[in-house]
Chain A
Amino acid sequence: MAYLSMGEAHRRITEYLNRFSDAVSYQNGISLKSLFSLSSNSHFLLSLSDALILVNDFNRLINQNDNYSHFSDIISPLFRSLQHYKQSNFVEAYNAFEKTANAFVQEFRNWESAWALEAVYVVVYEIRVLAEKADRQLAAIGKSPEKLKGAGSLLMKVFGILAVKGAKRVGALYVTCQLFKIYFKLGTVNLCRSIIRSIETATTIFDFEEFPNRDKVTYMYYTGRLEVFNENFPSADYKLSYALKHCNQQHEANIRMILKYLIPVKLSIGILPNHRLLEKYNLLEYGNIVQALKRGDPRLLRSALQYHEDWFLRSGVYLVLEKVELQVYQRLVKKIYIIQKQRDPSRAHQVKLEVIVKALKWLEIDMDVDEVECIMAILIYKNLVKGYFAHKSKVAVLSKQDPFPKLNGKPVNS
């Protein structure tokens, strides 16, 4: 590092203080936001950090002028945070930044208009990212990582401030999305429920569409995933489809994340993606599941589930995919029916259970006639097959009209 004179260090600090008080007095949100953006590695903040390491009594500089001293609760811990951040001491950097965030949010609450919303966004974002860094350091030295949890409570407070008042309300969804990221990371997604309820209440008097597009997409992505966990497929379909439709088409990584959950949801309501889509977004893990559904091949379904078991389990879609098994059996029976129809159309609607047993054996699945009867009974009950089974003669008799009803975008009856 080049030698830094004390005079230059003072100059840099004063420059920051001037920019801060100017941004506030001219209500310049863009300028203010850049002053909080620790992780941006902007040249201005980096050179300020160097200066702060040199000048230990920066509080004297802050307090010497009324324009700055008014904001000392915000700036003083921010300077300390920058010092620690520069030295990669993220736990202390977080602790200090948390104080800054609290003080700034209090200030923001008192401002009539929402001009500083962009700066709030940056503070909220920095808090989360810094907390994650701090937790990694804490975990590495065997201490309990708890900063992200703390960031969660802080953001809840910010959410409370934004969610109530008129013009500031559009900012609530951004904070919500950051909270979702925290809760998903911590595995405490049940905490999402209360914020979702607030958003839903708010949107009875405020049009959801007025939120920024970016936040709407993120919100729909996370709430869609929650619906997947709860196996509420129509709603998951709606939310994830919304996210997909409104997502910036340039952001392929985001589209992939949405599709990762939307595809299993679509499968469960009987809609199959074409192979090009899986290829384009590198989601070939689903390839053989789709094939199994097309071919009516339960063995292929099992092996596909097994082959990518870890990935499916980690993503939380394993149980959703496992559920498509019934649709695979439906397809298998349908194929047998089609073959019979080609041979003897008049008797095609009678399917001997032994024939299904044989077909399964050919697929190397060992299932006796009792279990096949059980599967047929389920298919009929869940309206995947129309007809009845005769226990004594071991035959399934299919309805002559529409023997294999389509799901038409509805989940299999439970």
Chain B
Amino acid sequence: MESGSGNPRSSFSQSRRQKFPLNASTATHHRSKVSTFSQRVTPPPTTGNNSNASTSDFNDDDSSFGVLLGTCSYMCPERERIQREKLRDLAVFERLNGNPRKSSPVLAVKKFCRTISIKDVQASDMRPLNVLEDTLNYLLGLLDSKEHPFEVVHDFIFDRTRSIRQDLTMQNIVNKKAIYMYEGMVKFHVISHHKLWGSMGDPNIASTHHLNMEQLTKTLSSLFNLYEANRNSNDVHENEAEFHSLYVLLNLGSHSKPMGEPLSLWFSHVSTSILKSKEMRFARRIVRSFRMGNYIDFFHTVAAEASYLQYCIMEPYINEVRSLALSYINFGGYKLHPYPLFKLSKHLMIEESDLESFCHSCGLETCTDESGNKLLHTKQTTFSHPKGGFQKYSFLGLQDYER
């Protein structure tokens, strides 16, 4: 994470001087259930009883709470820490020597609070930018902790990063440092997307995965708004192309629109320099091969070019393309020429033994010839796309990513 090492020049005051369309949308961030890229133009709930109350009234409010400057110098306001100690409401990471009723300023992290009203907020409850950056670095450092199951780690970081976003929003921090922080938080959700996918058989984890996806899409669209808000002329931010490519990969399937907008429409308002970037070219090539069903090109491209984050997003599609490939070969292959699994496993970048069990989960039988080669008979009528096919199979392009 590079968010801690941003430039030392504080852009704090600068952030408050700027007035962006973003203000309106991020201010409602914690209130709106779904946020899409179009959030930018969704009217915020206005307080006036006149439905015509124009949003300029809102912006006036906005700048008045933009003055809010946090003074809390700990990851968790003292008031909250003491109260949660009393209520024994401490996450495992917050307990001092495992004591469920004792924490410390270096362990406690401010919880996300759903029903927060701008009027009740005190400066002492709000963490300033440098504290938020440190808090985020601390949280993301926990990602590699092996002490607890990943779900437990995820649950903690999930909640506490939400609270970080809330503090950023309420202080109206929308500068480049906020961009780095949002990028870090998107990364967290993307990696979690991948890690949780492996255990989708468990209904609890499936629902965690769903909630994670919800925050992933929200955080990503806020990040896009931040890029927009910090744009000078037509330059592209350092990681902007890669994060945009994640949007494309999230919307690969023509029926899955986690972010609510068809790709065609989304493409029509993304800037040309991003569309032509290397990362976006990759994502668009994946779109092409995925939609066409060209499994050879799909796996070639993934193995040759995908970044770790891109891979994490695409993982659910990997088996989808494999089962498509099996259905094509099973349907169109000559009955008297069964297809050697060894060959097919190379195309689909999977261990041969894994491919064999994958065939079985697609309802296809395999056999062995006299010299011991495994074969897939074609024209089997029993093919079906695996339901809840969350079982993890090897992906032979992955070794490069394992850190």
Contact = CB atoms under 8 A, between A and B. Distances in A.
Contacts of A187: 38, 41, 265, 269
A144 B337 CA distance: 65
Interface stretch (B178-186, B191-199, B287-295): B287-295
A231 B254 contact: yes
B19 A143 contact: yes
Interface in B326-347: 327-329, 331-337, 339-340, 343, 347
Contact of A102 (B38, B52, B296): B52
Contacts of B61: none
Contacts of A389: 332-334
B19 A149 contact: no
A189 to B, nearest CB: 6
Residue among A318, A387, A391, A397 facing the most chain B CB atoms (10 A cut-off):
A391
A371 B332 contact: no
Size class of the contact patch on chain A = 35 or more
Interface string B78-107: 000000000000000000000000000000
Contacts of A98: 52
Given A149-B55, A154-B52, A378-B328, A313 B268 contact: yes
Contact of B332 (A144, A190, A319, A377): A377
Contacts of A188: 38, 41-42
B275 A146 contact: no
B267 A318 contact: yes
B320 to A, nearest CB: 13
B261 A190 contact: yes
B290 to A, nearest CB: 11
B201 interface: no
DSSP majority for the B interface?
A: helix
Interface residues of B, number: 52
Interface string B242-257: 0000000000001000
A290 B294 CA distance: 23
B263 to A, nearest CB: 6
B289 to A, nearest CB: 10
Interface in A95-145: 95, 98-99, 102, 142-145
Nearest to A99: B52
Given A190-B260, A374-B295, A392-B337, A310 B41 contact: no
Given A102-B52, A188-B38, A389-B334, A318 B261 contact: no
Interface string B37-58: 0100111000000011011100
DSSP majority for the A interface?
A: helix
A186 interface: yes
Interface string A370-402: 110011111011000001111111000100000
B292 A378 contact: yes
Interface stretch (A43-51, A321-329, A330-338): A321-329
Nearest to A379: B332
Contacts of B59: 144
B297 interface: yes
B91 to A, nearest CB: 37
Interface of A: 95, 98-99, 102, 142-147, 149-150, 153-154, 157, 186-190, 228-231, 309-310, 313-320, 322-323, 325-326, 370-371, 374-378, 380-381, 387-393, 397, 414
24 contacts: A146-B55, A149-B41, A150-B52, A187-B38, A188-B38, A189-B265, A190-B261, A228-B264, A229-B264, A314-B268, A315-B268, A318-B267, A323-B292, A370-B347, A371-B297, A374-B296, A374-B297, A375-B294, A377-B329, A377-B332, A380-B328, A381-B331, A388-B333, A388-B335
